[in-house]
Amino acid sequence: MKEGDCVDEEIAPLSIQKNMLWNSAGSIINLAAQWLITVLVVRISSGYDAAGLYSLAVTVYGVFAPVAQYRMYTYQISDTKRENTLGEYFTFRIITDVIAFVGCFGYALATCPSSAVSTILLYGVYKSLIMLIDVFHACDQRHQRMDYIGISLTLQGVLSLGLFGLVFAATGNLEATLVAMCLGLVAVGVLYDLRRATQFEKLSLGITIAKTKYLLWHCLPIVLGALACSAAASVPRQFLFTDMGEVALGVYASVAAPVAVIQNGASYIYYPLIGYFADYYVEGNLKRIFALLAKVTAGITLLGVVCAVLIELFGVQVLDLLFANNIVEYAYLLMPMIISALIAAYMWFLNDLLIAVRDFKGNFFGNAASLVAALCCMVPFIMTWDLNGVTFTAIASSVVGIVVMAISFFLSLRKGARAVKVTSEVNEKDSL
């Protein structure tokens, strides 16, 4: 541990169950708020033009979000040896945020209408601020106080939703609305998250060039994999925008918004358990790994069944209540979206599992295979099935990714078990 890293080790950690509940509650509220923003953009404006523009901003920045994140959240919470300080992680996140923002700006200029660039960039600033707050959340999770995370996510979601509703209703301007939302995030980060995280570790900004190069190079395969995963989801939507216009994308995004909440919600089943997978892998405890694997698989499957039943019973009514504007004629999009969301969620799970067992190559090749499948499928699928073509493309690409990642994961387990066995035998000989 580095000098000045630890501030207060006396703050009592919460149990696994309490941490999961706090994190899930905050995340669900935040996701619901983000989804309601997509509802408000339709309800407040006339038509789907603003919804399409907002969706385009989300889609374009989504391509570069993996660069901003650089998979540092998972890396930070698994840094049991405390190789890096909170300040180093925060500084590194600033660096990756800037790289992602520059890439997003260039991509927006090259591929999007000039009228959309300012909205895309402001949305990029908004997401960059969220990424910075995530560094504090990783610190909280490492010290087993995910109640701080749950409260922060609730504050972010409620404040963003409230500001969006007020400012967009008053101005009808997405740029002014995003500026207000950014200011709200700054307030939450400075007044709440910074104070909580610095109870555990001091925030001293700065990171050496050598350490920056190491992190950039060491984590590059999983970042490239994340980029491929993001592109596999984003590029088909962008093709839909190009081929059928912003109204088509606005409709698709509006219907998909509640399904995206389900997809993200599936991660709450497994994400607090990723650390345990890593521990069991180091121990060579395959029995516990497979037991956890079975529980997560059953949990995601059960979530899928429940969601499918609810969508079948109430999907049309909910869409009509939330969006109006004849959205119910697109209710047929819902069930394929549910299937796609849950398959994608399982691929996310395998993504994180491969990071937990430090199989960065398997992570990269699985995501790359998913992107190749998406690029091969999207044009014929969208030409054949219109809006549903985007969903069918997502299903096909996720299935390909799952197959490749599952093979890599089981090969890693076998390799890890052998390594643990050899180490144990060497230790036994040394003890003799």
Residue 226 has pLDDT above 70, yes or no: yes
Half-sphere exposure of 326 (CA within 13 A, CB side): 4
Question: Region 291-310: what's the mean pLDDT?
Answer: 87
Q: Distance (Å, rounded) from C-alpha 392 to C-alpha 398? A: 10
Question: Region 178-202: what's the mean pLDDT?
Answer: 95
Residue 426 has pLDDT above 60, yes or no: no
Confidence band of 394 (pLDDT split at 50, 70, 90):
very high
Residue 393 has pLDDT above 90, yes or no: yes
Which of 307, 308, 270 lies closest to 292 in space, CA to CA?
Answer: 270
Q: Of all residues in the chain, what percent carry a pLDDT higher than 90?
A: 45
Q: Which residue has the higher pLDDT, 46 or 348?
A: 348
Q: First-to-last CA distance in the chain?
A: 33
Which range is least confidently modeled, 130-144, 203-217, 244-258, 283-297? 244-258
Residue 116 has pLDDT above 90, yes or no: no
Helix residue ranges per DSSP H, 189-325: 194-197, 209-218, 220-244, 246-270, 274-283, 286-322
Residue 2 has pLDDT above 70, yes or no: no
Q: What is the pTM of this model?
A: 0.77
| CA distances in angstroms from 53 to 56, 299, 325, 426, listed in the order given | 5, 35, 17, 61
Q: Distance (Å, rounded) from C-alpha 53 to C-alpha 249? A: 9
Q: What is the pLDDT of residue 47?
A: 67
Q: What is the pLDDT of residue 315?
A: 78
Mean pLDDT, rounded, of the chain = 87
Q: Which residue has the higher pLDDT, 408 or 245?
A: 408
Which own/partner contact pairs does 321-329 have at CB distance under 8 Å and 24+ positions apart? 322/39, 322/43, 323/39, 323/42, 323/43, 323/254, 324/43, 325/42, 325/47, 325/48, 327/251, 327/254, 327/255
Confidence band of 53 (pLDDT split at 50, 70, 90):
confident
Confidence band of 167 (pLDDT split at 50, 70, 90):
very high
Q: What is the pLDDT of residue 273?
A: 78
Q: Distance (Å, rounded) from C-alpha 193 to C-alpha 198? A: 8
Confidence band of 3 (pLDDT split at 50, 70, 90):
very low
Residues 6+ apart with CB under 8 A from 69: 96, 131, 134, 226
